[in-house]
Amino acid sequence: AVLCPGLVDMRVAIGEPGYEYRETVASAARAASAGGVTTMAVLPNSLPAIDDPALVRLLRQRGDETGAISILPYGAATRGCAGKEMAEIGLLREAGAIAFTDGTQAIADARTMRTILSYARGFGAMVVQHPEEPSLARGGCATEGELATRLGLPSIPLAAEAIMIARDIRLAEMTRGRLHFGHVSTAEGLALIRAAKARGIAVTCDTAPPYFDLNETAIGDFRTYAKLSPPLRAEADRQAVVAALADGTIDAIASDHAPWDADDKRFPFAQAAAGGTGLATLLGVTLA
């Protein structure tokens, strides 16, 4: 048994509003309670996206109504999480948004990202990026390499993560904004973050248990439960994540909880949904 304060999970995707068939606030609260999580930061990738102050207030209220968890909503960085037009960051912040992100999607346009970093800085807010260059990642479902080739799966090069991290570190340096990368999973990406921290740039990052507990062999013969975004990596990258946890390069461990209906996982691997549950197992897997 482990006795500790309630956990704060800084990366949770739930279905409410709009995708309640995947998960509701109530079911997420039950999973969180099972894993010792009492506060969760919720991504804005709902339907509609959390780009309206009223939705920020609603999510906070829905968490309070459970009596079990507190919800800290992320505000969408762009309208509809579409990556084109900056959302009303000031109003979202005033309503209680803790930071700004497009969640499971990268903010692809560099000019837009620069504007968001600059504007968020004025409100003392952090910008959270999904570190994956989307044109390189488009259509891929496994890490580029021998395993993906053998299984015949469309792949994503490791450089897709590093390219986005390198670009946004430079933008953070230009704007003096606060930048955080979610679920970092490659040795090259971690090396860039480590070097940026050494230069005094305001950059932080997290990872999730699959990236230090599993490697790409977990997909085996097309096991869709192990299809994640970003995809699982080779053993060398897994070891790099472990080392970065040990030396403090990685600032937090988040569950990256992103549940799907079972039917969404029953498709062939390339077509199956990417993501999995993690709230209930966050602490157990981390301490294992």
Report d(CA 242, CA 239) in Å as an integer. 5
Q: What is the pTM of this model?
A: 0.97
Amino acid at position 75, single letter: G
Asked if the peptide bond before residue 230 counts as cis, ω within 30 degrees of 0, the response is: yes
pLDDT digit string, tens, across residues 64-81: 999 999 999 999 999 999
**pLDDT of the residue at 250:** 99
Residues 6 and 252 sit within 8 Å (Cβ to Cβ): no
- The mean pLDDT value of the chain amounts to 97
In this prediction, what percent of the chain has a pLDDT beyond 90?
98
The distance between the two most distant Cα atoms of the chain, rounded to a whole number of Å, is 51
Domains and CATH numbers, the chain: 7-287 (3.20.20.140)
* Mean pLDDT, range 88-104, rounded to an integer: 98
* 63: Cα separation from own chain's centroid: 20
Asked whether the predicted pLDDT for residue 1 surpasses 80, the reply is no
β-pairing verdict for 126-129 and 70-73: unpaired
Report d(CA 58, CA 96) in Å as an integer. 10
Report d(CA 52, CA 233) in Å as an integer. 36
**pLDDT of the residue at 2:** 79
Report d(CA 53, CA 91) in Å as an integer. 6
pLDDT digit string, tens, across residues 218-247: 999 899 999 999 999 999 999 999 999 999
Asked whether the predicted pLDDT for residue 51 surpasses 80, the reply is yes
Catalytic residue among 168, 206, 237, 256: 256
User: What three-state secondary structure class fits 125?
Assistant: coil
Other beta carbons within 10 Å of 239: 14
Annotated catalytic, 256?
yes
Asked whether the predicted pLDDT for residue 128 surpasses 90, the reply is yes
Asked whether the predicted pLDDT for residue 23 surpasses 90, the reply is yes
